[in-house]
Structure 1
Amino acid sequence: MNPRALLVCAAAFLGERAWSQSLSPTFVPEARVDAMLQKAEQSNPAQKSRLLNRASRKLQASAQKNPANAPTLQMLVWLSYAKQDAKLFAQSLQRLQALGQGQASDYWAAAEWLFGLEDYVGALEFIRYYEATEGQTLRSASSKQAIYLRLYQGDSALSCAAQYCIQKPNDPRAALLYAQTLGELGASDEAFLAFASLKKLFPENTEVRWQYLLWAKANDRLTEALAEAEGIWSDPDITERAKVAYASQLLTQNPRDQPSAALAVRWAEGLLRQDSANPAYWALRGDVARWLDDLPTAEESWRHCLSLPGGAQWPVFQQILQLDLDKGDSEALLIDAKAAQGAHPEHPFGSLFLGVAQSRKGEHAQAHAILLEGINRFGSDKEVREQYLLYLGEVCYRLGLLNEFRGHFDEAISISRSNPTVLNNYAYFLALLRIDLKKAEALALRAVAIADQEASFWDTLATVYASQGKHAKAQLAMDRAHSLGADPTKPVQTTNEGYEP
């Protein structure tokens, strides 16, 4: 994209009339358009769209006749934002800025919008408008730094960070921006010295210490990173919540990244050495172990967490329930689901997990009853409703309630047409019933198009093709499933129980 494509000349906006910044603003109300917009807000979607388009044309015509009328331009700013017309939004706002009538919040909205469209030069211009009104802020300085880095203008990025640091000498965030910019530019030694100075200047600032730790980890200074980590987790002035939150950030990294793994393990161990009766620390140990695929340690940690006072929190129950599902342990799943619902009867997924557990035990009638109760209580939320519908569809299939089975899956698809699990499971059960196989094929193909690395979805497609008698296609789909990790000893038509919450 041309970086100044959205900041076109005034002639493109105002016809052939030349724009002059010497124009004085006028303030003629746009009463008719205002009435039209109020009517649009009370209209159905189709009528609203027509009214907004009509209002836009009227306002643009008005702007051609009176290019300095502030109310016209202000309404165009609002309308173009509502219609997601970035070009008109930027043009209108530029005119308001030239008239001295723009708002800082609008300038920032334009900068963010243009940044998202990769119009970095345009974004910089609106950031400057914002700074002319509000002064330089951390948000504007860091945004300019990010833009300069994307434009490969390292000197400008460093200069921007340095200027803000000079402007805010007592703000650790300003100094952090400077140190991080040095790191981004590959000046490792200079960044290390900057971080060391930062720690001396702001010894009580935990965020400075954390950012230094991350920088050290990323630059193969694991000894320094571990030392800083121990300083944070053993600091009595840092809250328990903050210590857990910092460690949890490490779990967003690749678990095969050795420095991240070492830091996460040491952090959890260090916290437990300080307070072995703290359920939050045991929950963190379980999360770290699960992140590292150490499932026995994860389960042992979470179950110990549940046994401690205050440890029976829903997220811990959910981790345990997911482990039960992954292992296919229906006995443990039912026990844990009952315990979870007993501890959290108002949680929207309590009944869902209990219904799933009963279904896995073959108690389909009981599962149907608890799932219906759950969807009636908690189904006003679309995301929650979709999950209940998914399992109600499965349970109704197993109970032979075929109309209800199809109704639940159809409604789930109407909520989210791009959920591959819903598409996959519906297709699978249709294939097993050998009904509506064209629909089953379409659903299965959509599922693998959305999630083409999911072996069980290719397994379903193979089952559909086999049900249609398309054996060559079935074998190709099963070969793909095998290549993605499906059991190679299984025949084409395999069991596929699908989604687990």
Structure 2
Amino acid sequence: MMTILRTIFILLLLTTFGQSSFAQKKKKKNKSNISIAPVQFLTEEEQAEVDHYFLEGEKYFLLQDLSKAMSAFQKVLDLDQKNAAAHYKIGQIYSENGDMSKALPHAIFAKSYNPKNKYYYLLVSHVQTNLGDLNAAEKTYLEMLSEVPDTENYWFELAAIQFYQKKYEAALVSYQKAQDHFGPMEEITIQKQQIYLKMNRLDLAIKEGKELVALYPNEPSHALSLAQMMLSNDKYEEAEKFILSKVDHYQNNERLYIFLSEAYSKQKKYADAIDVLKVPFESTTLDLSRKIRTMAGYLEMLPNEELNQPLLELAEALVKTHPDSYQALAMTGDLYYNINERAKGREYYIQAVAIDGSNYNIWQNILSLDLELEDYDGVIEHAKMALENFPNQATLYYFEGTAYLIKNDYENAIKIFNAGKAYAARDANMNSLFHGQLGDAYNSMGDHSKSDDAYEQALKAKPDNDHVLNNYSYFLSLRKKDLDKAKEMSSKLVTDFPENSTYLDTHAWVLYMMEDFSGAEKYLKLALQYEPSGTIIEHYGDALFQLGKIDEAIIQWKAARDMADDTTTLDKKIADKQLYE
């Protein structure tokens, strides 16, 4: 047991003295020439005691028992106040404990008494840096590099401190010193690039980048970094020339083609920009999201005769390369939508939700296109499918109910609207839309009591719902019920929408039913200025007839007949010169 302990102690002793530089004590035969600095005159007995406590301190320091280590090193100083190694170790302990203010004087003392020991300089600079005194740390590094041989690798640390202090010129000098010693290095060139960029010396940063590419010709990351730097600093033409000089060398490097595309695009060479995207879009290794972001940038330019077909080819390549990606299919759907091929766009959207139905926006796109294409059965089918994924989305009920309403399937419309309105209760606008549609459905079924109640609920949620104000006031006028209320609503409409022919016609018809034929004539005449329809022209003829302007009325009825599908009533009015309502 004693042999093992003695061996460990000797190893500990050798390790300790191998890592630190101490001043020599008096040389003795068969003794190591590395020892504690004999700064003051000590007897041999005192020196032995110093050595003993120092070794004790080193042992506890290595065992991370810092309290005992500190005590031992302090005993060294009690015997030898100017012992540089003990000051260094005490400084180390304070540093490890985070007490930099106490560590600093010990570190400085050690360095002062042994100015050739790099570890003492490094402790001083470490403490100064942690204290935030970077200027002092910089001076310490400079002193060490001047005084201590074989410390050239610390030019990097010095340069980093100078860079942090925005002493860019000084940092460049330090990196150049490192380069003079070690030769060209990737790290040095990259750091010099960053400094030049901070100094707004883009030309020099690019020059360093080109040197780096030349130094490492088989490393594409440097070419990519340089291309990106040029693009980020609006050097689009220079980036184009540089990338074109490298695409053959780095064949099929997808990111390089992406950058080339960006360089073309920034110069408004859109056809070229799209053409060079074929390589990355046919690649399975390039990130799909990067492709989609690139293509998305062109959507706002569409439709465009020059770009439509090239983008379609890219989209097809995207889907071919990523056949199981709903994002690729959805992006292709977006493309077809933007070039006004709505049906084709819907096909891709439907394929996308077949793979992953969790994207609500795609479902909305499908339903909007169903309505636009007047495929009301498609609206109903797709709304039901979407509700399986999003059962609490009021908008989906609204789409389905509206499709039933358009198909005159009022019972199913009412059923769906009543089911969905619970999910719309917290949204005033949506709540008003649901009740408005219910009002229309109940009115079409002849249930005026429920219709009026639904309209009232709609206006309670959103008093300026123009669809409800129009329909409610018009249906009341047809029933000649609550005409004052109808007039109040229609008056609000024509005030808010003075150029809407439908609303002007509604207001005119309310006035007509109130036997204000002059007022009706006035607003019908206004309506005809904007968007005349057969109904508005017929109403205008009716108002003229009521005002005794028979011949003028017949002229309007004949004009309305030319625009009508069913002319039975109009033919009778014209033939009999009589009003039939």
- TM-score normalised according to structure 2 size: 0.45
Quick check: 1:404 aligned with 2:485? yes
Mapped to 2, the partners of 1:458 and 1:167 lie a distance apart of 65
1:423 matched to 2:504: yes
Q: Conserved in 1, the CA contact under 8 Å of 2:473 and 2:485? A: yes
Pairwise CA distance, 1:178: 3.4
CA distance in 2 between partners of 1:161 and 1:490 (Å):
71
- Verify the 8 A CA contact 2:501 2:530 in the aligned structure 1: yes
Deviation at residue 470 of structure 1 after TM alignment = 4.3
Aligned-pair CA distance for 1:264 = 0.7
Q: Distance in 2 between matches of 1:354 and 1:320?
A: 13
1:230 touches 1:270 (CA, 8 Å); kept in 2?
no
Q: Which residue of 2 aligns with 1:489?
A: 567
For residues 416 and 361 of structure 1, the distance between their equivalents in structure 2, rounded to whole angstroms, comes to: 29
1:417, 1:409 → 2: CA distance? 11
AA in 1 matched with 2:524: A
User: Match for 2:395 among 315, 338, 355?
Assistant: 315
**Equivalent residue for 1:413?**
494
CA–CA distance in structure 1, aligned partners of residues 442 and 393 of structure 2 = 22
Contact 2:394 2:421 survives alignment (8 Å): no
Residues 1:477 and 1:318: Cα distance change in structure 2 (over 3 Å)? farther
Matched, 1:165 2:236: yes
Give the Å deviation of 1:405: 1.5
In the TM superposition, residue 217 of structure 1 has moved relative to its aligned partner by: 6.5
1:267 is displaced (CA, Å) by: 0.8
1:227 to 317, 321, 326: 317
Q: Per-residue deviation at 1:357?
A: 2.3
- Look up the SS of the partner of 1:491 in the other structure: helix
Aligned to 2:569, what secondary structure does the other structure show? coil
The answer as to whether partners of 2:432 and 2:457 remain within 8 angstroms in 1 is no
Residues 1:352 and 2:436 are matched in the alignment: yes
Aligned-pair distance for 1:341?
Answer: 1.6
**Structure 1 residue 334, shift from structure 2 partner:** 2.4
Q: Per-residue CA shift, 1:129-170, capped at 9, x if unaligned?
A: xxxxxxxxxxxxxxxxxxxxxxxxxxxxxxx99965358889
Inter-CA distance 402–304: structure 2 relative to 1 (3 Å threshold):
same
Relative to structure 1, the CA distance from residue 205 to residue 309 in structure 2 (aligned partners, 3 Å threshold; closer, same or farther) is: closer
CA gap of 1:244–1:445, structure 2 versus 1, over 3 A, is farther
Classify the secondary structure of the residue corresponding to 1:435: coil
**Is the CA contact (8 Å cut-off) linking 1:389 and 1:408 kept in structure 2?**
yes
Q: Secondary structure at the match of 2:403?
A: helix
Question: CA separation of 1:355/1:273 partners in 2, compared to 1, >3 Å: closer, same or farther?
Answer: closer
For the Cα contact (< 8 Å) 1:447–1:457, is it kept in 2?
yes
Distance 1:230 1:472 in 2: 69
Quote the Cα distance in structure 2 between the aligned partners of 1:253 and 1:490. Answer: 43
1:89-488 map, 5 Å: 165-166=236-237, 175-176=261-262, 178-179=264-265, 188=271, 190-196=272-278, 204-211=290-297, 218-219=308-309, 222-229=312-319, 234-235=324-325, 238=327, 247=333, 250-251=336-337, 253-254=339-340, 260-261=341-342, 263-275=344-356, 282-306=363-387, 308-346=388-426, 347-379=431-463, 382=464, 384=465, 386-397=466-477, 398=479, 400-431=481-512, 433=513, 435-452=515-532, 454-468=533-547, 470=549, 472-474=551-553, 476-478=555-557, 480-481=559-560, 486-488=564-566
Give structure 1 stretches of 5+ with no counterpart: 1-159, 255-259, 495-501
What is the rounded CA distance, in whole Å, between the counterparts of 1:425 and 1:233 in structure 2?
53
Cα distance change of structure 1 residues 343 and 406 upon mapping to structure 2, 3 Å threshold: same
The alignment yields a C-alpha RMSD, in angstroms, of 4.3
Amino acid paired to 2:422: G
Quote the Cα distance in structure 1 between the aligned partners of 2:558 and 2:280. 57
Going from structure 1 to structure 2, the CA distance change for 1:262 and 1:375 (only over 3 Å counts) comes to closer
Structure 1 length normalisation: TM-score? 0.51
**Cross-structure match for 1:44:** none
CA distance in 1, matches of 2:468, 2:550: 34
Higher relative CO (Cα under 8 Å, sequence separation at least 6) belongs to 1
Kindly indicate whether the alpha-carbon contact (under 8 Å) linking 2:329 and 2:349 is maintained by their aligned counterparts in 1: no
Give the secondary structure class of the aligned counterpart of 1:219. helix
Quick one: which amino acid aligns to residue 487 of structure 1?
D
CA deviation after TM superposition for structure 1 residue 243, in Å = 6.7
Instruction: Select the structure of larger CA radius of gyration.
Output: 2
| Closer, same or farther: CA 359–492 of 1 in aligned 2, 3 Å | same
Q: CA deviation at 1:323?
A: 2.8
Unaligned residue ranges in structure 2 (runs of 5+)? 1-230, 241-254, 573-581
How many Å separate the matches in 1 of 2:418 and 2:550?
Answer: 44
CA distance in 2, matches of 1:225, 1:179: 18
Amino acid in the other structure paired with 2:492: E
Structure 1 residues 66-105: aligned runs within 5 Å: none
Q: Which amino acid aligns with 1:165?
A: Y
**Alpha-carbon deviations, 1:3-49, whole Å to 9, x = none?**
xxxxxxxxxxxxxxxxxxxxxxxxxxxxxxxxxxxxxxxxxxxxxxx
C-alpha change, 1:264 and 1:419, in structure 2 (3 Å) is same
Provide the secondary structure at the position in 1 that maps to 2:325: coil
Q: Note closer, same or farther for the CA distance 1:403–1:349 as it changes in structure 2 (3 Å cut).
A: same
- CA offsets per residue over residues 286-315 of structure 1, 9 Å max, x none? 333333333322332223333x14145233
Q: Please state how far the C-alpha of 1:339 moved relative to its aligned partner.
A: 2.2
